[in-house]
Structure 1
Amino acid sequence: MLRDIGKRLFGKPSKSTASLVDAEYSDVLNGRIDVFGALRSGQVVLVRNIEPIKAGRLKMIELAGPKAASELELFYRTGVPPSLDTLQGLSHAIKDFRSKRLWSRLLHDFFSAMELPNPTRYDGGIPRLVLPPEVVDAAKASGRFEGTDFQRATPAGLTEIFMPTPANIHRDFNRPHHLFQFNMWFPLHDADADGILRVYPHLYREPIFDQNCTPEALAALGKHAEFTLAFGDAILFHGEQLHTSPIGSSGGRRQSVDFRVAVDCHDDNGHYRQGFLSSRNFDVVPGVGSAIDLIIELEETSGISEQRQAEFLKAFDALPFTEDRYLLFASKTIDQQLVAQALHKVISLTPDYFWALKAGEIAASKGMGSLASDALIRVRQLAEGHDKRPDYMVVQYSNAPNELGPDAALAAIDRLGQSA
């Protein structure tokens, strides 16, 4: 059942007020709701009873270890902070989820049912663990955790596990871009109105930008969308919606996941954040499987036998084409013939100048001048024939763009040619 409850949340609807759509998991799987259309129009979508979230928490508890199970179940049910032993197990479980892309695997069918415009990419999910300050301080002092568990190494790098401070008021992009990115935010326990991300749909198209999350700034924004989420529920919203952390983000209890999906994304989305992978890597082909296990093996293995390298390419060719895994293979492999095969595949099949340029850069770095020249020709063809993409931006940004446009790709051809 779908319920447009925008009127109840925000009063009489107006052109500047986006409504909120409430749906069941089965509505999405069975195509009874146009999620992408709703998000693009500025609606916020709640989806209830998402089975993969429930399966994910069970897996999280399992990976944390048998001794942690009872404490984690109590934590999720009542909010009682776990012991340091259990927190250490939970941190390992969260890292396993991230390195093995478990949230992407679990949620892939859900996103596929939305029939999103391709290419689509997943960031794998950002963990958010909020605990009372004294618990976090004790974890820091224990020496059991890595420094990056509390503070990420670089702004665009892997996020910390313990959320250091509440987020400011922001839109996920603060400069011009040519993709549509949406967030799926969900807690791993029941969450009342104070424990849920604050989103301001009535300001979706207003020229209001990043600012500190002060009481004065929050008051000026007006009322945020209010609702509750039971365990298994999630909120989906365009990343350009103004949003900030839940009210209870300082000294409270929360474990949540912020999963980003980049839609109509014709590059690696590295201009926003590193770590996105093509959704096609999670498609399962009968008798072959999916590419993600092979990608993880490539990422985690320093030396791969020649026989295994050939097996990689054979498996890749039997799966839906996507550029990122071939380029990863080419960057990790020393067999020049296999590298050439992988790069040729990208250069000949990609419809996007970004990926052709990346293939050319790898070819040039490995001394493959002829292949780099082929990439140069392909970049020029694709950049000069570049079709104008949909304009997904809802406000105009004053910051300069940092994604690779066709003009920048053409300018990069000269640098590539000199090194080839």
Structure 2
Amino acid sequence: MPKTDATHDARRRSWVDSANGHPEFPIQNLPLGVFVPPEGGAPRGGVAIGDFILDLGAAHAAGLFAGAAARAAEAASGPALNDLFALGAGPRAALRARLSELLALGSPERPRVEPCLHRAADCTLQLPARIGDYTDFYAGIHHATNTGRQLRPDNPLLPNYKHVPVGYHGRASSVVPSGAPVRRPNGQRKPAGEAAPSFGPSRNLDYELELGIWMGPGNPLGEPIPIAEAGARIAGFCLLNDWSARDIQAWEYQPLGPFLAKSFCTTVSPWVVTPEALAPFRIAQPPRPEGDPAPLPYLLDAADQREGALAVELEVLLLTPGLREKGLPPQRVALSHTRHLYWTPAQLVAHHACGGCNLRPGDLFGSGTVSGPEEGSFGSLLEATRGGRKPLRLPSGEIRRFLEDGDEVIFRAHARREGFASIGFGECRGTIRPAP
């Protein structure tokens, strides 16, 4: 597991003034991404620092890196971060340490670094990696219980849930960066009150609040990843909205699971928050309730149970046409926390590879919807509105059972711990457009 070091010192300040006290990107964070600069040109790798982005290719060309940090900077300079992800933790940590030196207040290299900065508001953010495969898990136990209860009131969790990290293979081609529009999908729907299925726009469009997990070094086909090594294979984390057409899902999912109800779009936040940045926010995996089975040995590692979970607060906000018209801000509709995940990220990696599936740098996982146990912490409208039976009432006078055209969903996340600088993930936004 990554350990805390000088890069996490809360007293460390940057000569980039906007980074000091920045709610998302202080010098203690330094997340990685891909951007197009204001003047245009090819996408290239960068690092967020306050209200600016540091161009890694330009900094590398200026001779600001050496050794493992130089290898990492070169690998991260192109239009995708896959080559950097493939290098693993050592070079990535060396790059982070050198960036922290270069950007720290009093750095003698400031005159050489400053020309490599671009104002973030003038840049266009891209997907951070070429996504070969996308897998969505179901590790939020409260979400699984809440949704299961609507279908099976007396037996909300299926027998396998507490034994195996449940997941399905999603569609990598429709993953988009924050800000890209989300087109309402068409599909087959058959509500209980209708005699036959019909085809048309989804009537019950929903969001799902998830943690995204980017894969680093993978494994050869046929060779599992041991649980003790699985955490080190993770390159970083983001926010992920697994948009879901609930009415299409309810009709199509038996017997093979999600298909068109989820493949139309998945939105991710564009910054990759590294495991090193999150070192102060590692926590023990919460103990399982009495009577729950222990994980099977291939999923159980003492170090992972001791510090393999993350302390990240997650927030869902909704901005509707009515709120915009009245000049009202986005309304918070959920506040949740990653401690509610039943499985650690490392357990998801180890299980995915246990049968010999070859994971590759840039593969993307969704954690599953991160819901809490109480009202106000539900990571989907399906839960928050009880399947539409208990609509949300907004200050604009609007009600929402599910998402309407023009609604914008905003995810935010922050890691906080006493004695350390708080860090954020950047926003994950998407606005619903009408069906074609």
Q: Where is the helix percentage greater, Structure 1 or Structure 2?
A: 1
Q: Whose relative contact order is higher, 1 or 2, with alpha carbons under 8 Å and at least 6 apart?
A: 2
Q: Which has more radius of gyration?
A: 1
TM-score for both structures, normalised by structure 2: 0.24
